[in-house]
Amino acid sequence: MTRTSLILALVPALLIAGAANAATNEYVVTVDEGLRHMQVEARFSAPVSRISARSRDAGKFLSSARNCGNNERLRVRWRRLRLPDEGLSCLQYTVDLAGAAAAERRNASLSSTNFVVSPATWFWRPAHRRDDETTVRFELPDSVGVSVPWVAVPGRPDTYRLQDSPESSEAFAAFGRFDFVETSIPGATLRITLMQPDHEVELSHFVDWIRDTANNVSLAYGHFPNPAPNVILLPVGGERSWSDSPVPFGRVVRDGGETIELFVNQYRPIEEFYDNWTATHEFSHLMLPYITTRNRWVSEGFASYYQNVLLARAGQYTEQRAWQKLWEGFERGRQSRPELSPNGAARAGIRAATMKIYWSGAAIAFLADVELRRRSDGDESLDKVLAGLAQCCLPSDRTWSGPELFRKLDTLIEEPLFMPLYRQYANARGFPRVGPVLEDLGVEVQDEKLRLRSDAELAAIRSSIMRKP
């Protein structure tokens, strides 16, 4: 038998062995009507040797933990439970849910009837392997609801399945009395959780805004990149609000699934939300897998580029305004930390080099989009490349590097472009050379105001970028 034949013969056996070793973990979570305590029972298909929580503070809220088999009390060391030598097949524990909620500062602006708290503080579990299946079933009073970042199990009410994910940060779970809405957009069903603020305010009108904003992302290649994203709205307006912006902050969390968290000022007029770019930026992140922080400029830059392009395609921005905003962003990036490269800015961190991180990446996305359209007479574009990425690789359950992503994008086009751009700019001081390309597009600047020339060499490409497909 040849070496290749031997490998091929071993593959099915290895797959069978891997499936046979896969674990099944089943959790039942009970919450009292007063949202004070959480009782958890976990049963494992085979004895486990390690159980831990992700948060360093989880032990503060663990009231008790016992071995179901003999009722022996388990002690906590750091973030780990001390288990018997033979392992553990069943675990029961109690969590001070009210204490965990009080420690989460995001709850300060919410009504006492609902709160958010990360599973990292209450979900004690064994190490998760790719083939393992972990389900969590909630038993709740009629007046209490739950929203978690995991995938609902069809036909099993209040039961969710954990997915492999990059665990980029700690996602929120919501408990209490709040509105939960599901709404369909091309290629996806959005699961929207509307947390209730400390003063009663109607939030249902935000659903249309979220749906419309998510629809903006489908203007890139026809559908949303994730079929079942979780969206959570946290009202922060009022006396404690730190910003007059309608959406002062947003983030994407890839933790057991993909969640978009949007912090909203519920007192601002709805028209301001449609004119704000934050939600479009966050939704645009889902067109890429999670990128390591060492190359953060890739993810933040592509989202910064698309937030302007998509708002123009949706009709919220005119073409003139979209190019004005892109140019202003490029200028902020050019003036920020000129001694740093994009990778150097990412190493320095968001606090030290925000504009360089966001807008150097946007410049590279822009250069790629224009060159793809130019060299193919419009047959290629960044939209089409990302559509191919969505088809092969999204949602992704792991962390990617910038070069890994760019190499993958180059396999989706006829002639490499992304890695040449990476080699040219990723470690080069200064800012990507966008000026000559803007000039070819007919984007002229005088006194910081843009004029779009219709007779420019690439005027048709300029218009096509901002036009709804």
How far apart CA 133 and CA 19 sit, in angstroms, is 11
Are both 339 and 396 inside the same structural domain? yes
Q: Which of 233, 217, 111, 141 is nearest to 180 (CA)?
A: 233
Alpha helices, H only, 140-185: none
Are both 294 and 390 inside the same structural domain? yes
pLDDT in the model for residue 129: 78
Q: What is the 3-state secondary structure (H, E, C) of 21-71?
A: HCCEEEEEEEECCCCCEEEEEEEEEEEECCCECCCCCHHHHEEEEEECCCC
pLDDT in the model for residue 104: 95
Measured distance between the N- and C-terminal CA atoms of the chain, rounded to whole angstroms? 55
Q: Tally the domains of the chain.
A: 3
- What string of DSSP letters covers 314-344? TTSS-HHHHHHHHHHHHHHHHHS-TT--HHH
Cα torsion angle, 154, 157, 163, 165, sign? positive
The owner of tokens 């419009």 is 378
The answer as to whether 12 is a domain residue is: no
Are both 278 and 300 inside the same structural domain? no
Q: Which of 425, 385, 426, 383 is nearest to 409 (CA)?
A: 385
Q: How far is CA 415 from CA 292, 298, 391, 412, in A?
A: 26, 20, 20, 9
Domain finish residue from 241, 256, 287: 287
Are both 292 and 256 inside the same structural domain? no
How far apart CA 118 and CA 279 sit, in angstroms, is 22
Are both 350 and 374 inside the same structural domain? yes
Q: Is 192 helix (H, G, I), strand (E, B) or coil?
A: strand
Are both 152 and 187 inside the same structural domain? no
Paired with 91 in beta bridges are: 42, 67
Q: What is the pLDDT along the chain (469 residues), one digit of tens a residue?
A: 554 444 444 444 433 444 457 889 999 999 999 999 999 999 999 999 999 999 999 999 999 999 998 999 999 988 999 999 999 999 999 999 999 999 999 899 899 999 999 999 999 999 877 789 999 999 999 989 999 999 899 999 999 999 889 999 999 999 999 999 999 999 999 999 999 998 877 788 899 999 999 999 999 999 999 999 999 999 998 655 557 899 999 999 999 899 999 999 999 999 999 999 999 999 999 999 999 999 999 999 999 999 999 999 999 999 999 999 999 999 999 999 999 999 999 999 999 999 999 999 999 999 999 999 999 999 999 999 999 999 999 999 999 999 999 999 999 999 999 999 999 999 999 999 999 999 999 999 998 889 999 999 999 999 999 998 8
Q: What is the 3-state secondary structure (H, E, C) of 269-308?
A: CHHHHHCCCHHHHHHHHHHCCEECHHHHHHHHHHHHHHHH
Q: Burial code of 205-228, b = ≥16 C-beta within 10 A, e = fewer?
A: ebbebbbebbbbbbbbbeebbbeb
pLDDT in the model for residue 343: 98
Q: What share of the chain is helix, strand, coil (3-state, %, to 5)?
A: 40, 25, 35
Q: How far is CA 113 from CA 28, 121, 205, 264, in A?
A: 23, 20, 21, 19
Q: With beta carbons less than 8 A apart as the criterion, state whether 392 and 336 touch.
A: no
pLDDT in the model for residue 5: 46
The answer as to whether 171 is a domain residue is: no
The answer as to whether 173 is a domain residue is: no
How far apart CA 280 and CA 319 sit, in angstroms, is 17
How far apart CA 36 and CA 339 sit, in angstroms, is 53
Cα-flanking dihedrals φ and ψ of residue 74, to 5°? Answer: -105, 140
Domain finish residue from 255, 287, 319: 287
Q: Is 11 helix (H, G, I), strand (E, B) or coil?
A: helix
pTM value is 0.92
Q: With beta carbons less than 8 A apart as the criterion, state whether 231 and 192 touch.
A: yes
Report the amino acid identity of residue 429: R
Are both 259 and 332 inside the same structural domain? no
The answer as to whether 170 is a domain residue is: no
Are both 32 and 146 inside the same structural domain? yes
pLDDT in the model for residue 239: 52
We report the CATH number of the domain holding residue 255 as 1.10.390.10
Q: Which domain holds residue 431?
A: 288-466
pLDDT in the model for residue 9: 46
Are both 260 and 306 inside the same structural domain? no
Are both 233 and 323 inside the same structural domain? no
Q: Which of 343, 365, 332 is nearest to 429 (CA)?
A: 343
Alpha helices, H only, 411-454: 418-425, 435-441
The answer as to whether 71 is a domain residue is: yes
Domain finish residue from 229, 264, 287: 287
- The tokens for 6 are 């031997």
Are both 243 and 361 inside the same structural domain? no
Q: Is 82 helix (H, G, I), strand (E, B) or coil?
A: coil
Q: Which residues contact 463 (CB under 8 A, 6 or more apart)?
A: 319
The answer as to whether 6 is a domain residue is: no
We report the CATH number of the domain holding residue 151 as 2.60.40.3650
Q: Which residues contact 468 (CB under 8 A, 6 or more apart)?
A: 219, 313, 314, 315
The answer as to whether 317 is a domain residue is: yes
pLDDT in the model for residue 131: 84
- The tokens for 266 are 């519920």
Q: Which of 303, 406, 409 is nearest to 359 (CA)?
A: 303
The answer as to whether 172 is a domain residue is: no
Are both 183 and 238 inside the same structural domain? yes
